[in-house]
Chain A
Amino acid sequence: MKRTALTLAMLWLVPGVAGAQLQEIRQTIFGMD
C-alpha cells in the first residue's frame, strides 16, 4: 500500500508528455478453447 501511495505521488510530479502511453501489446493468454 505504501508503494502505491509513493507511486501516485511520483506520477503527480512527472509532467504529462504528449504521446506517452502504451503503443503495442502482445498479451499471452491461457485458457479454454
Chain B
Amino acid sequence: MCAHAVRVAVKKIDGIDSVQVSLNRGVVVIRLKPENRVTLEQLREAIRRNGFTPKEADVRARGTVVQDSGHLALALPGIGAAFRLTVDSQAPATIGELERVRGQVVTLEGRVRETARWATALPSLEAHAISKDAAR
C-alpha cells in the first residue's frame, strides 16, 4: 500500500486524465477527461481499497443548479449524481448568487466533506466560486 498503488488504482478508472499523489501533503490531485462519467465515490473507493481514508475533497464540477425539496442542489444527471449546495461563509459565493443561477448550467468550485459509504443523504458541496460557462 503506497502512493504508487493509489495512483495506479485511480488511473485505471475510465475517464481519468492525470493523477498526482503526494503522501507528504496527504493529497491526491485528479484531473478528469471531458465527458467522463466518474463519480467522487468511485475515486474514494479506489483510495480506500489501497489502505487510505479519504477525507474532504476540493472539487470543480459543472452541472445544473436545481431545487430539491426546498434545498439547492447541483445535478450531474449524466453520472447520476447530485450535491446539496451550501455556502462557505468566508467566500464571496452566497446563497443569493446560487438562487440567481437556478436552472442554469454553471461550474462550481467547493469542498465536499468526508461522507460515509452508507450515507443516504446527498453529499454537501460547500461552494466558494461560481462561474457561468455556457460553452466548453
Q: Answer whether A and B are interacting partners.
A: yes
A interface residue numbers (CB < 8 A to B)? 1, 3-4, 6-8, 10-33
Q: 1/0 per residue B16-43: CB within 8 Å of A? A: 0000000100111111101111111001
B interface residue numbers (CB < 8 A to A)? 1-2, 6, 23, 26-32, 34-40, 43-44, 47, 51-64, 66, 68-69, 73, 75-82, 105, 107, 120-122, 136
The chain A residue sitting closest to B106, CB to CB, is A20
Least Cβ–Cβ distance between A30 and chain B, in angstroms: 5
CA distance A1 to B31 in the complex (A): 32
Q: Is the CB of A21 within 8 A of B82?
A: no
Q: A4-B121, A22-B38, A28-B54 are in contact. List 18 more A-B contacts (CB 8 A).
A: A3-B69, A6-B69, A11-B82, A18-B136, A21-B35, A21-B76, A22-B32, A23-B31, A24-B59, A24-B60, A25-B28, A27-B54, A27-B57, A28-B26, A29-B53, A30-B26, A31-B51, A31-B52
CA distance A6 to B68 in the complex (A): 8
User: Which secondary structure dominates chain A's binding surface?
Assistant: mixed
A-B pairs, top 4 by smallest CB distance, nearest first, are A31-B52, A28-B55, A26-B58, A29-B52
CA distance A6 to B122 in the complex (A): 10
With A4-B120, A27-B28, A27-B44 known as contacts, the answer to whether A22 contacts B59 (CB < 8 A) is yes
Q: Is the CB of B107 within 8 A of A23?
A: yes
CA distance A32 to B10 in the complex (A): 17
Q: Is the CB of A11 within 8 A of B77?
A: yes
